[in-house]
């Protein structure tokens, strides 16, 4: 069964940094497209970033220059390094296996990890 398990969320001050992890099973990160999607408390879903099987990376304008998506093929794990965090980055962050058709949709999701940016 395909599984994605996020970790690394927590409370961080504005301007701080945090790294999220997403361990996957039953598929390989190196051969897949995988994304981060976030959901602010009580709000809808927002695409954040995607890494392609070939290694190309793409970001939403709201996080470009502050967040970096990467993967460790040996650990079959996806990461999201977040810098210069803002209050508006507060959200549950989901990793999701991604179907690429020019743009993306998401067929399997992790359970999410909560990031709270507050002083």
Partner 1 sequence: EIVMTQSPATLSVSPGERATLSCRASQSVSSNLAWYQQKPGQAPRLLIYGASARATGIPARFSGGGSGADFTLTISSLQSEDFAVYYCQQYNNWPPTFGQGTKLEI
Interface residues toward partner 1, by CB under 8 A: 44-47, 58, 60, 94, 99, 101-112
Least distance between partner 1 and beta carbon 35 (Å): 9
Query: Nearer Cβ to partner 1, position 79 or 94?
Result: 94
Q: What residues contact 98, with CB distance under 8 A and at least 6 apart?
A: 32, 33, 34, 35, 50, 104, 105, 106, 107
Least distance between partner 1 and beta carbon 75 (Å): 22
SS (H, E, C) 65-110: CCEEEEEECCCCEEEEEECCCCHHHCEEEEEEEEEECCCEEEEEEC
Do the strands 67-72 and 57-59 form a parallel or antiparallel pair, or are they unpaired?
A: unpaired
Query: Nearer Cβ to partner 1, position 23 or 45?
Result: 45
Least distance between partner 1 and beta carbon 5 (Å): 11
Least distance between partner 1 and beta carbon 14 (Å): 25
Query: Nearer Cβ to partner 1, position 43 or 86?
Result: 43
């Amino acid at each position: 069964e395909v599984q994605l398990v996020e970790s690394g969320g927590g409370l961080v001050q504005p301007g701080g940094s945090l790294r999220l992890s997403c361990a996957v099973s039953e598929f390989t990160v190196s051969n897949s497209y995988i994304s981060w999607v976030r959901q602010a408390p009580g709000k809808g879903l927002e695409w954040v970033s995607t890494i392609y099987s070939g290694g190309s990376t793409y970001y939403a304008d709201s996080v470009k220059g502050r967040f970096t998506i990467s993967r460790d093929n040996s650990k079959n794990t996806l990461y999201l390094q977040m810098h210069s965090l803002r209050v508006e980055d507060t959200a549950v962050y989901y990793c999701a296996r991604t179907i690429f058709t020019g743009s993306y949709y998401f067929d399997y999701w992790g359970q999410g990890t909560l990031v709270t940016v507050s002083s």
